[in-house]
A and B are shown apart, each in its own frame.
Chain A
Amino acid sequence: MNNIDVLIVEDEERLAEIHAEFVRKHSRFRAVNVASNLSDARKLIQVLKPHLLLLDNFLPDGKGIELLEDLVAGDIPTRVIFITAASDMETCGKAIRFGAFDYILKPVSYDRLQMSLERYIRFFDSQKANAQVNQHHVDELFNLQSKDFRSDKHTKGIEDLTLQRVKDVFITSAEAHTTESVARLIGISKTTARRYLEFCVENRYLRAEISYGRIGRPERVYKRQDGADPTP
């Protein structure tokens, strides 16, 4: 098992030490170094080529986001867990766009940091283990990097009860419906109606089409798919 080199970039000395202690508790991490400003961080990245960076945004000689930008532009394989204040969400949005490995808001929740570090270990190992690159591997890496919590992706917030009520609308008649009519019949919001109707379309219970109905404006109407089973 390879060990992972970490560099902590944080100007508050005591906080940096606490972070370092926390990271060292994991046996997989070694050579935990601390840089207290951007220029030191740049030098240390050049020399140590760490695998992982805990990067604070507010530093005495600049913004951590600049370093992240440089890493992306320089195609340096170092991954970044970006740390910024909760009041600085805009920068966080930017960090996401630059493809930071993870983003943690201050004050740092160590449970959240723990999750992030474990996720990185998995990412690191799967990167090392899969010498042979295939699509599955690429997908796995991508998911680990950005969306490993997405295991619940397919729970769409669809409740059986509401779903059945939506389907009932179509059982009683073969008539076409819109979100408008469904929302009014059941008493849910239009967007919720859209969500359930589209779920039905996905499962081939309904089909959707664009109708240029009464006044020539496009409208999306839903019809029962022929031969669809009305029971859930």
Chain B
Amino acid sequence: MYENGGRGPVHAGSAIKKRGVRAAFKAASFQTRTFLLLLMVSSGLSLVIGQYVYSRMQAALYEQIGIRARVQAQQIAVMPDVVTAVAAGDSARLRALILPLKAGSDASYIVIGDRSGRHLMHTDPGVRVGSPMLGGDNFPVLQQGQSEVTLERGTLGVSWRGKAPIRDATGRVIGVVSVGYFQSRIERWHRGQIMPVFGVLLGLLYALFCCAWLFSKSIKRQMFGLEPREIARLVLQQDAVFESIYEGVMSVDANGCITAINRAAREMLDLGPNTPELVGMSLSDLIADSPLLLAGPEDPDVKDEICLFNQLQVIASRVGIRVGGELHGWVISFRSKDDISTLSAQLSQIKRYADNLRVIRHEHLNLVATLGGLLHARAYDEAMKLIDAQSAVQQQLLDYITKTFGNYQICGLLIGKYYRARELGLALEFESGCGLDALPSALTDVEWMSIIGNLLDNAFDATLAAGNGEHDIVLYISDAGEELIIEVADHGAGVSPAVRDHMFDRGFSTKDNPERGIGLYLVNSYVKRAGGTITVENNIPCGTVISVFVPRRSRGNE
């Protein structure tokens, strides 16, 4: 609507000019364009209003003047002296009668004519008595006895004239009175009246001009001084950046409804690709009771907290969106914990490797020296034994694990845990009689790995925390019977009955580190899903035995 209002004046002119103007308009800054548009609309509006007021006032003025002229004419026409003088055709008498009236009136002239339409008297001394009255508008007056208002060119020029018939005692029309107002004079009055109105309109226009300027400036300020196309580009760029971040990012409003969620977050939470459907959904519907997400307005920001989003361990941060101290929502960013654990593990390993390398090099030199000695003494068998011993223990372990556990994933995990234990100064022992043909299909390999891995980690931690000189952890895995049995025994401090009741709750940990609270919770939830049970007992003489029993065939198949 505004545009239509503005376009008229702007796009006047030839086609070339139009294009030029349009291009210039487009090139102008948003502020200028807004300003110009507003200005055009307001001046167009003023113009229309001005025109309307002008013509209305003019019409009203003409009507008033017309009535005034006619009323005067009618009054003069019924003056008995005038009737007598007209009947007598006494011009001098009429002049004496009318001139004082003319002096008291604002009319431009007063004319009295006889019944044949000739001047009997004219206030303008230049008009000869007996000359015909011009304008041709006397007919209705003289023939039909009607009063009227006409706009005609008379003897002295264009004027508004009020005409009234003069009647004798019998009612016969014997002459005509015409009171005239020159149009030029009316125009002058009109101009006198309209000028203040135009003044007001101009003032209004100026006010609009200022408003338009301030308005466009304030819009510009609200848009951070950016042009709309810059804003559009920024929005697209933000979108692209947001979507391409490797971290999962979500923002929620103060009510906990999602306002944005990026691709990584959707993938990690397994929410499917469709963003518009997710926006507006309550976050608690998507991610079951995670304390990090249920934040009140008073809660502080949280950095790098380990928590569980739909069975996925993540490291999440929560930052409040605060505008002027008021909370408008939260931004939650998170990464899968596995990624970070791998990274930090790698970092700490590099340092350890550097230290180890020095030791290994020293040992290696010793070995070479020994071998040299043995070869020199031609003790070849001894030399061979020494060399084989370098890898024999590990090779045996490798062969033992791979022949005992019939699952590549578990083998890999156990080898990793064995050496992890060794790095920690602990010893992972396999109870004799371990054996595993195949894992029950109730859980995926990764979930089985999570169960075994978490139980072992827990045992490592417990043993280290106890610090009682014990360092053995015994693992027993067997699927010889109806059930798969996984048992991990440590000689740590053991668990008190109070702890035992809660050790499988999420977030429960005997330590401050919240990372601990998740492993056993996962173990428990996986085992439950597979239809198994977990028992926790005290070891002899101290420590904990955690045993997992899972039926090898799910009950439905039996």
Contact = CB atoms under 8 A, between A and B. Distances in A.
B547 A220 contact: yes
Interface of B: 356, 360, 387-388, 390-392, 394-395, 398-399, 401-404, 406, 408-409, 411-416, 418-419, 431-433, 435, 474, 476, 478, 480-482, 485, 487, 489, 497, 500-501, 533-540, 545, 547, 549
Nearest to B549: A220
A97 B387 contact: no
B487 A191 contact: yes
Nearest to A188: B540
B533 A218 contact: yes
B475 to A, nearest CB: 8
B412 A94 contact: yes
A100 B485 CA distance: 27
B406 A105 contact: no
B398 A157 contact: no
Given A103-B398, A190-B489, A210-B535, 13 more contacts: A86-B391, A96-B401, A96-B412, A97-B408, A105-B394, A107-B388, A109-B392, A150-B404, A157-B431, A191-B476, A195-B476, A199-B433, A201-B482
9 contacts: A89-B394, A89-B416, A105-B391, A105-B395, A107-B388, A189-B489, A190-B545, A210-B535, A220-B535
B535 to A, nearest CB: 5
A198 interface: yes
A215 B545 contact: no
Given A86-B391, A92-B398, A157-B433, A194 B547 contact: yes
Given A156-B435, A190-B545, A98 B408 contact: yes
Contacts of B356: 87
Contacts of A89: 394, 398, 415-416, 418-419
Interface string A142-164: 00001111100100111000000
B422 to A, nearest CB: 9
Interface stretch (A1-9, A168-176, A177-185): A177-185
A180 B536 CA distance: 11
Interface of A: 86-87, 89-90, 92-94, 96-99, 103-109, 111-112, 146-150, 153, 156-158, 178-180, 183-184, 189-192, 194-195, 198-199, 201-202, 210, 215, 217-220
A107 to B, nearest CB: 5
Q: Is the interface of A mostly helix, strand, loop or mixed?
A: helix
Given A89-B394, A89-B419, A191-B487, A183 B540 contact: yes
Contact of B433 (A98, A183, A184, A195): A195
Contacts of B489: 189-191
Nearest to B429: A191
A205 to B, nearest CB: 12
Nearest to A179: B537
Residue from A86, A190, A199, A217 having most chain B Cβ neighbours under 10 A: A190
A202 B481 contact: yes
B403 A150 contact: yes
B503 to A, nearest CB: 11
A90 B387 CA distance: 22
A190 B540 contact: yes
Given A157-B432, A194-B547, A96 B402 contact: yes
B399 A195 contact: no
B435 A194 contact: no
A153 B434 CA distance: 9
A190 B541 CA distance: 10
Nearest to A183: B540
A12 to B, nearest CB: 15
Contacts of B411: 93, 96-97
A90 B419 CA distance: 8
A178 B412 CA distance: 33
Given A149-B403, A194-B485, A107 B547 contact: no
B406 A146 contact: yes
A75 B485 CA distance: 34
A192 B102 CA distance: 141
Given A156-B480, A184-B540, A201-B481, A103 B497 contact: no
A84 B430 CA distance: 24
B90 to A, nearest CB: 132
Nearest to B431: A191
Contact of B478 (A109, A184, A195, A215): A195
Contacts of B536: 217
Given A87-B360, A97-B409, A153 B388 contact: no
Contacts of A179: 537, 545
A180 to B, nearest CB: 6
A102 B380 CA distance: 28
B406 A93 contact: no
Nearest to B398: A103
A41 to B, nearest CB: 23
Contacts of B537: 178-180, 190, 219
B402 A103 contact: yes
A198 B480 contact: yes
Nearest to A151: B403
Interface centre among A178, A184, A192, by most chain B C-beta atoms within 10 angstroms, is A192
B391 A106 contact: yes
A199 B432 CA distance: 13
Contacts of B419: 89-90
Contacts of B431: 157, 191-192, 195
Nearest to A159: B432
Given A107-B388, A194-B487, A194-B547, A218 B432 contact: no
